[in-house]
Chain A
């Protein structure tokens, strides 16, 4: 029950993230691509997730492909929006410094745009992962024979609320765990941020010497 759901979330999240990163990078970097693609993507974003279900079932069948695609669609938009915004919001002054030192093209992307956009990107990833967990339930409502979403439906049809509550608790557990994992993995890439949060954390560390030692 659990592994198949985890697998669907992981695969859908991965595919959605890859597509979102490519398209978000394109629309964030190039005004031309932004004008071409962004209005369409924004329109797609406002379609309720469930509306895709019949179409995906018809096109992709009732098995894994349609489920993973639905999850990928869910994970796509937060990652896409934050990738695009992250690139657009890179400080023009830092880009100018890079130009002065002869950076352009790939070097400029790699040394300035990428590191500068990472905090926004991580926010997008966490949002995308959260939505992947939402969408896996919708996906597993459409004719699954296993998975946590199936457990919800099955619990209802066979009159076993304990199963439903167990599935709900597992969603909470895995959703939280995966988010913590993602945040931990990304921490070293965004640790440089001189933000309100990091200042508050330093204050907390200073106020609690025991915590400082464990860090």
Chain B
């Protein structure tokens, strides 16, 4: 349903992305991992219509993406809530195209789904980091986008909050089945969540390898198979410790 066709991006002399080709099926969860500077966030911004590609195109359900689209929701690394709006009003912010009288109920339903029902009237400054990010997810989901893009959505959170929100995201996915494309530098996160993990490498940004993770969900983070995949991806990224030994403890 989502096709990224030979997309490249140059920032003046710098080639951020060179010829990326990727097709994502409806309802599929695709995790993109890579070291910093490999262009994975740029790719997501192009898919979201925030930046035009230098060449190539992004096609969603047969229509070329030329700008932000209501069918596409985006969660950033930071919550990016409007500090002057209540949590509810922040979620309603995404409903400008909906009839006014439906907005409130939709926003409250979306907040309830992320477990923030009782915080609808709070201001963003009163929320913890994890709660603020959940509110941002509610805002991205409230308009029922077919595609949800997530740009390192949990990277600014502590490990425990991150695990909770990862499970949470899977619950939402089970309920609504949006197509999800997310960028992360946490290989384990990609392995726990994704149907497919795409490994990108830099200079210029390109897809180096893809792995289909055909394990049933929910997956245990300690599962042996996941560890084997993690090892291979670390090797792809030249980050595996050479000559065996202990499991490398990397958070890139």
**Chain A residues packing against B (C-beta within 8 Å):** 93-94, 96-103, 107, 111-112, 115-116, 118, 192-194
Q: Which single member of A96, A98, A101, A116 contacts B84 (CB below 8 Å)?
A: A116
B50, A96: Cβ atoms under 8 Å?
Answer: yes
Cα A111 to Cα B123 in complex, Å, equals 16
Q: Is B104 an interface residue (CB 8 A)?
A: no
Instruction: Enumerate chain A residues within 8 angstroms of B80, measured Cβ to Cβ.
Output: 93-94, 96-97
Q: Is B125 an interface residue (CB 8 A)?
A: yes
22 A-B residue pairs with Cβ-Cβ distance under 8 Å, sorted by A, are: A93-B78, A94-B82, A96-B80, A99-B50, A100-B48, A100-B68, A100-B73, A100-B74, A101-B68, A101-B93, A101-B96, A102-B68, A102-B70, A102-B97, A107-B96, A111-B93, A112-B82, A115-B82, A115-B85, A116-B84, A192-B83, A192-B85
Instruction: Enumerate chain A residues within 8 angstroms of B123, measured Cβ to Cβ.
Output: 192
Shortest Cβ distance from residue B154 to the other chain A in the assembled complex, whole angstroms: 17
Cα A118 to Cα B76 in complex, Å, equals 25
Q: Which single member of B48, B50, B96 contacts A102 (CB below 8 Å)?
A: B96
Shortest Cβ distance from residue B171 to the other chain A in the assembled complex, whole angstroms: 24
Shortest Cβ distance from residue B62 to the other chain A in the assembled complex, whole angstroms: 20
Cα A180 to Cα B123 in complex, Å, equals 26
Q: Is B94 an interface residue (CB 8 A)?
A: yes
Instruction: Enumerate chain B residues within 8 angstroms of A193, measured Cβ to Cβ.
Output: 83
Classify the interface of chain A: helix, strand, loop or mixed.
helix
B68, A99: Cβ atoms under 8 Å?
Answer: yes
Scan B42-55; emit 1 where CB is below 8 A from any A CB, else 0.
Answer: 00000011100000
* Known contacts A94-B80, A99-B50; 4 further A-B pairs (Cβ under 8 A): A97-B93, A100-B48, A102-B96, A192-B125
Cα A112 to Cα B82 in complex, Å, equals 8
Instruction: Enumerate chain A residues within 8 angstroms of B94, measured Cβ to Cβ.
Output: 101
Tally of contact residues, B, Cβ under 8 A: 22
Instruction: Enumerate chain B residues within 8 angstroms of A116, measured Cβ to Cβ.
Output: 82, 84
Residue on A nearest B136 in the bound complex, by CB: A97
B125, A194: Cβ atoms under 8 Å?
Answer: yes
B76, A103: Cβ atoms under 8 Å?
Answer: no
Interface residues of B in 15-56 (CB under 8 A from A): 48-50
Residue on A nearest B143 in the bound complex, by CB: A101
Instruction: Enumerate chain A residues within 8 angstroms of B73, measured Cβ to Cβ.
Output: 100
Q: Which 5 A-B pairs have the closest CB atoms?
A: A194-B125, A192-B84, A115-B84, A100-B68, A97-B80
B96, A103: Cβ atoms under 8 Å?
Answer: yes
Instruction: Enumerate chain A residues within 8 angstroms of B76, measured Cβ to Cβ.
Output: 93, 96-97
Cα A116 to Cα B50 in complex, Å, equals 21
Q: Which single member of A94, A100, A112, A192 contacts B50 (CB below 8 Å)?
A: A100
Shortest Cβ distance from residue B155 to the other chain A in the assembled complex, whole angstroms: 15
Residue on B nearest A115 in the bound complex, by CB: B84
Instruction: Enumerate chain A residues within 8 angstroms of B84, measured Cβ to Cβ.
Output: 115-116, 118, 192
Shortest Cβ distance from residue B134 to the other chain A in the assembled complex, whole angstroms: 16
Instruction: Enumerate chain A residues within 8 angstroms of B85, measured Cβ to Cβ.
Output: 115, 192
Instruction: Enumerate chain A residues within 8 angstroms of B96, measured Cβ to Cβ.
Output: 101-103, 107
Cα A126 to Cα B97 in complex, Å, equals 37
Residue on B nearest A93 in the bound complex, by CB: B80
Cα A94 to Cα B96 in complex, Å, equals 16
Scan B103-126; emit 1 where CB is below 8 A from any A CB, else 0.
Answer: 000000000000000000001010
Cα A101 to Cα B92 in complex, Å, equals 11
Interface residues of B in 75-101 (CB under 8 A from A): 76, 78, 80, 82-85, 93-94, 96-97
